[in-house]
Amino acid sequence: MKVLSQFSAQASMDGDGVNIRRVADFVTTKFDPFLMIDEIKSDDEQDFIGGFPAHPHRGMETFTYIRKGGFEHRDQMGNVKAIRAGDVQWMSTGFGVVHSEMPLADAVDGLHGFQIWVNMPAKDKLRPAKYQDTAGSASVEATNDTGATLKALAGDWGFKDQPLISATIQGLAGEAAIADLSLAPNAETTLDLSQHEFVALYLYQGDLYKSDSSKGEDSHRSSASNQHHEGEFLVLDSQSVLKLKADDRGAGMLLFAGKPIREKIVQMGPFVMNTQAEIQQAIRDYQAGRFGQIA
């Protein structure tokens, strides 16, 4: 595994006082086609009870994945859905979306989830909005002989020398693909992601070691450069084989892959466009009610 860039999630707050960890890059676009990863992880409802009241988006895609607890989603397109543990949701906002995400009343054991922003190419930023979710659908996943489980959340993945394809969520901008990879205690795995131009991972649980079959386990633990910790986002060389090893606590991470869009962006709050003039137009359109309203 060759790490090209490394970032650490920063404590932040969004919505109505929701505490999150965030990794974002709207300037150098080193995550292209991805823009931001927000993680909510707490057993204290005061960290998330305020939720995300109605707010707009334009020019980007939101991808929500819940591992524990849940949200109720509402939008101006008429979608009202409970997104629970194991579910994912994708909105390609295009011209505009107004939506809210509020914690489910029966999700009393904490919340762990992610919202990921994906950029859209300029040619698609004003197309009609799209919505999909996997609520009620079985997840597509596989476990190998070494204790690694990969869940395909969006797009196509190769695992155990066979394709693993998300049955519901396809067609993200930038050919984006997202997966949840879990390693059992002391498990290791090897992935070949060379079919993708961009590859990255976000470690949400445990410590991770770069696995090297030519060295013993002690060599992993003795080299700090071989160790990565919870909350780190790593941009990887897609042409290098991904060899990963967990410690005795196991590890969990999101995998990201895609094709960079390579366009200059301008971001202001929930709007991601290509010029400042387009940002100002988005603000005018929203204020004039052209995005619609949640019923």
- CATH number, domain containing residue 121: 2.60.120.10
Sheet holding 88-92, edge to edge: 10-14, 18-24, 34-42, 111-119, 60-68, 88-92, 130-133
By the 8 A CB rule, do 170 and 193 touch?
no
Query: Count of domains in the chain?
Result: 1
Q: What are phi and psi of 272, to 5 degrees?
A: -130, 105
For residue 101, give its domain range: 3-258
Query: Is 61 contained in some domain?
Result: yes
Per-residue pLDDT, 94: 96
Query: Is 276 contained in some domain?
Result: no
Per-residue pLDDT, 214: 39
Query: Is 284 contained in some domain?
Result: no
Cα 194 from Cα 258, distance rounded (Å) = 11
Residue 220 predicted with pLDDT over 70: no
Q: Roughly how many angstroms between the first and final C-alpha of the chain, as a whole number?
A: 48
Residue 199 predicted with pLDDT over 70: yes
H-run or E-run covering 141: strand 140-143
Cα 104 from Cα 69, distance rounded (Å) = 7
Query: Is 81 contained in some domain?
Result: yes
| Mean pLDDT, rounded, for 113-128 | 98
pLDDT digits (tens, 9 = 90+) for 240-284: 999 999 989 999 999 999 999 999 999 999 999 999 999 999 999
Residue percentage of the chain with pLDDT more than 70: 94
Confidence of residue 211 (pLDDT cuts 50, 70, 90): low
Per-residue pLDDT, 1: 85
| Mean pLDDT, rounded, for 1-10 | 94
Per-residue pLDDT, 107: 65
| Mean pLDDT, rounded, for 137-156 | 89
Residue type, 90: W
The token pair that represents 146 in the structure block: 């070494």
Ranking 80-84, 167-171, 196-200, 201-205 by mean pLDDT, the lowest is: 167-171
Query: Is 270 contained in some domain?
Result: no
Cα 91 from Cα 29, distance rounded (Å) = 21
Per-residue pLDDT, 212: 54
- State the chain's mean pLDDT as an integer: 91
